[in-house]
C-alpha cells in the first residue's frame, strides 16, 4: 500500500514509518519540520517538506497514487496549548481541515488519525473506555476532539473512511527512532536525562493526588505497539472500521514507580524533588483497550515498564543530544 504519513519526522510518525517500510509498504512523508527532525525521516521513504495548511501542495502529493493517510502532524505540548490556544487550533484543526480537503480533491478516502487520551480530560472513572465522557480540559485535547468530529462529519458527507486512535502515554523507542521534543516535557526522557546527569534533578509535579503514593498515575504504551495498531488499522479501514479506539497498556504506573523502574534499568540513582502540581494533570489515566484488541486484533508485545524504559534508555544513550547527535 502507498501511505502518506503526515508528521513522519516526529516521534510516533517516524516509528510508524519504519514499521510500514519493514512490512513492505511504500511511505511518503509530509512534514513541515516545525517540530520534527530531518534526521528522523526514514531512508526508504519519500519526503515532502510541506505545510498541511497548503492544501494545493498536499493535494499534489496525495495525487501520486496515495491509498491511505496516517495523520500524526500536530503540536502536542499541553501547557503551551493552554497559553496559546490559537496556535494549536490553527495548526491542529485548520491543518487537518486542509488535509481532509486535499484528500477529497485527490480522491483519497482512508485516514487514521492520531488522537489522544486528552479528549477525556479528567475521567469520571478508570480504566477509561471509549464511551467515557469527552470533556477535554486543555486546548490540546480540544483540538484532538474537534478533528475527530470533523473527520466523522466528512465520513457522513462524502464517504471519508476514518478511524481515530486515542493514544495514552507513548513511550519507548526503536533502535532508530526515539523521543526528541524541544523543549522536552515528557516524564520518561526527563527521568533518563536526570539518571545520566544531563539534568540536575527531576521535579515531581505533586505528591498529594489520591493514588498509591500520591503521584500521578499514567498508562505508558510502547511506541512500537502504537505503530503496530496503525498497520492493523490500515487493513481494517476498507472494511468499514470507523470511530475511535483507545490504545494503552491497561496498567498504570505512578511517577515514583517510573523513577524506580528507570533506576533499575540504568543502575543509577535519580535525583528528584517534590514540586507543585502541574495544572491540568488528571490524577489517573489508564486505558481500557479491549475494543482495539477485539476490532483490530491488536496485541501489545511490550507490556513491561522496564522494557519500555530500557528501549528509551538505549536510544537516549546512543543519541544523548537527540537526533542532532546521531
Ligand atoms: N511529570 C512530572 N515531572 C516532569 C514531567 C512529568 O512529575 O518533569 C509527571 C506529570 O505530572 C504526569 C506524568 O509525569 O503525571 C506524565 O507526564 P507527561 O508530560 O510525560 O505526559 P502527560 O500524561 O502529561 O501527557 C501525555 C501526552 C499528551 C497527552 C496525554 C494524555 O504528552 O500529549 O498524555 O494522556 F495528551
Domain annotation for the chain: domains and CATH numbers: 2-171+222-247 (3.40.50.720), 187-218+250-325 (3.90.25.10)
The residue among 73, 75, 71, 149 whose CA lies nearest residue 103 is: 71
3-state DSSP assignment of residue 135: coil
The residue from 88, 120, 140, 167 that is catalytic is 140
CA distance 310 to 293: 25
At residue 246, the 3 state secondary structure works out as strand
3-state secondary structure 134-154: CCCCCHHHHHHHHHHHHHHHH
Closest CA to ligand 1's atom 19: 186
Q: Which atom number of ligand 1 is nearest to the Cα of residue 285? A: 35
Half-sphere exposure of 131 (CA within 13 A, CB side): 2
pLDDT tens per residue across all 326 residues of the chain: 999 999 999 999 999 999 999 999 999 999 999 999 999 999 999 999 999 999 999 999 999 999 999 999 999 998 899 999 999 999 999 999 999 999 999 999 999 999 999 999 989 999 999 999 999 999 999 999 999 999 999 999 999 999 999 999 999 999 999 999 999 999 999 999 999 999 999 999 999 999 999 999 999 999 999 999 999 999 999 999 899 999 999 999 999 999 999 999 999 999 999 999 998 788 999 999 999 999 999 999 998 999 999 999 999 999 998 998 75
pTM of the model: 0.97
**CA pair distance 220, 305, nearest whole angstrom:** 7
- How many other CB atoms are found less than 10 A from the CB of residue 120? 26
Cα separation values, 97 from 47, 63, 86, Å: 21, 17, 15
Per DSSP, the residues of 53-87 read: T-HHHHHHHHTTT--EEEE------HHHHHH-HHH
Pocket test for ligand 1, best of 180, 186, 272, 288 (most atoms within 8 A of CB): 186
C-alpha cell at 299: 496485541
Q: Which of 74, 206, 218 to mutate to test the pocket of ligand 1 (most atoms within 8 A of CB)?
A: 218
CA–centroid distance, residue 20 to ligand 1 (Å)? 28
Q: Which three cell numbers stand for residue 196?
A: 545520566
88 is catalytic: no
Cis (ω within 30 of 0) for the bond into 56?
no
Length of the chain: 326
Amino acid at each position: 500500500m502507498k501511505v502518506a504519513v503526515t508528521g513522519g519526522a516526529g516521534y510516533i510518525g517516524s516509528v510508524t514509518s519504519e514499521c510500514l517500510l519493514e512490512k513492505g509498504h511504500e511511505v511518503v512523508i509530509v512534514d513541515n519540520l516545525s517540530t520534527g527532525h530531518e534526521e528522523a525521516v526514514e531512508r526508504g521513504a519519500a519526503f515532502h517538506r510541506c505545510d498541511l495548511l497548503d492544501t494545493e501542495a498536499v493535494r499534489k502529493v496525495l495525487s501520486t497514487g496515495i491509498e491511505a493517510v496516517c495523520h500524526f502532524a500536530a503540536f502536542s505540548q499541553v501547557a503551551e496549548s493552554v497559553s496559546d490556544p490559537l496556535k494549536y487550533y490553527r495548526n491542529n484543526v485548520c491543518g487537518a481541515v486542509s488535509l481532509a480537503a486535499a484528500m477529497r480533491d485527490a480522491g483519497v478516502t482512508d485516514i487514521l488519525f492520531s488522537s489522544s487520551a486528552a479528549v477525556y480530560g479528567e475521567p469520571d472513572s478508570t480504566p477509561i473506555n471509549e464511551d467515557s465522557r469527552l470533556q477535554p480540559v486543555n486546548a490540546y485535547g480540544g483540538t484532538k476532539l474537534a478533528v475527530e468530529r470533523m473527520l466523522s462529519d466528512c465520513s457522513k458527507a462524502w464517504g471519508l473512511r476514518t478511524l481515530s486512535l486515542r493514544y495514552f502515554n507513548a513511550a519507548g523507542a526503536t533502535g532508530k527512532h526515539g523521543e526528541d521534543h524541544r523543549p522536552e516535557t515528557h516524564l520518561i526522557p526527563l527521568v533518563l536525562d536526570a539518571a545520566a546527569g544531563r539534568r540536575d534533578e527531576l521535579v515531581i509535579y505533586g505528591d498529594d493526588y489520591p493514588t498509591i503514593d500520591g503521584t500521578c498515575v499514567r498508562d505508558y504504551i510502547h511506541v512500537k505497539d502504537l505503530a503496530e495498531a496503525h498497520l492493523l488499522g490500515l487493513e481494517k479501514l476498507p472494511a468499514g472500521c470507523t470511530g475511535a479506539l483507545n490504545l494503552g497498556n491497561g496498567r498504570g504506573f505512578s511517577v515514583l514507580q517510573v523513577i524506580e523502574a528507570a533506576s533499575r534499568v540504568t543502575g543509577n540513582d535519580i535525583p528528584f524533588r517534590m514540586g507543585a502540581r502541574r495544572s491540568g494533570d488528571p490524577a489517573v489515566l489508564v486505558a481500557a483497550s479491549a475494543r482495539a484488541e477485539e476490532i483490530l486484533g491488536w496485541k501489545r508485545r511490550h507490556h513491561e515498564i522496564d522494557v519500555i524504559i530500557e528501549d528509551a534508555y538505549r536510544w537516549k544513550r546512543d543519541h544523548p543530544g537527540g537526533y542532532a547527535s546521531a
